[in-house]
Copies of this chain bind each other. A is one copy, B any other.
């Protein structure tokens, strides 16, 4: 019965987590796409590569930062490379690996995406929640997911 009560609450969280995620992600993606900008994951890659004033990263590292499966990242980088936003450099000291680096176009694209992205977040992520609630929600969600670096524009 204490058990019953618990599972019920867990279910509430489960259902609403999925619903909230769908709701928010769909809206933000739609807003960004509506401006003719690339998908959010592209931004995430570019953001990671722009940290600390621009850096090279191994795909393996990106994988961990971004929570993307290896084969998906491989193909995501294919697409971004084809679009001229990132380069694959040979990796000194490890012949298997590579270093991924944003091209100038990639950096420009990141800067170009950010305003729209930011606007979409403000508009669609919890527009009705108070500052206090936002903070509380972030804290509770943080207890569920692993840790993640802050988002933003990288500046």
The chain A residues found within 8 Å of chain B, CB to CB, are: 5-25, 28, 67, 118, 121-122, 125-126, 128-129, 131, 133-138, 140-146, 148-152
Q: How many copies does the complex hold?
A: 2
Task: Give Cα A53–Cα B123 distance, bound, in whole angstroms.
Answer: 41
- Which chain B residues lie closer than 8 Å to A9 at the CB level? 131, 134-135, 138
- Which chain B residues lie closer than 8 Å to A122 at the CB level? 6-7, 10
| Contact status B13-A141, CB under 8 Å | yes
- How far, in Å, is A46 (CB) from chain B's closest CB? 16
Interface centre among A15, A24, A135 (most CB of B within 10 A): A15
> A140: which of B18, B23, B137 is its contact (CB, 8 Å)?
B137
- Which chain B residues lie closer than 8 Å to A14 at the CB level? 24, 28, 121, 125, 151
Task: Give Cα A67–Cα B26 distance, bound, in whole angstroms.
Answer: 11
- How far, in Å, is A143 (CB) from chain B's closest CB? 6
| Contact status B145-A19, CB under 8 Å | yes
Task: Give Cα A121–Cα B9 distance, bound, in whole angstroms.
Answer: 10
| Contact status B22-A138, CB under 8 Å | no
Task: Give Cα A20–Cα B135 distance, bound, in whole angstroms.
Answer: 15
| Contact status A17-B12, CB under 8 Å | no
Task: Give Cα A67–Cα B94 distance, bound, in whole angstroms.
Answer: 46
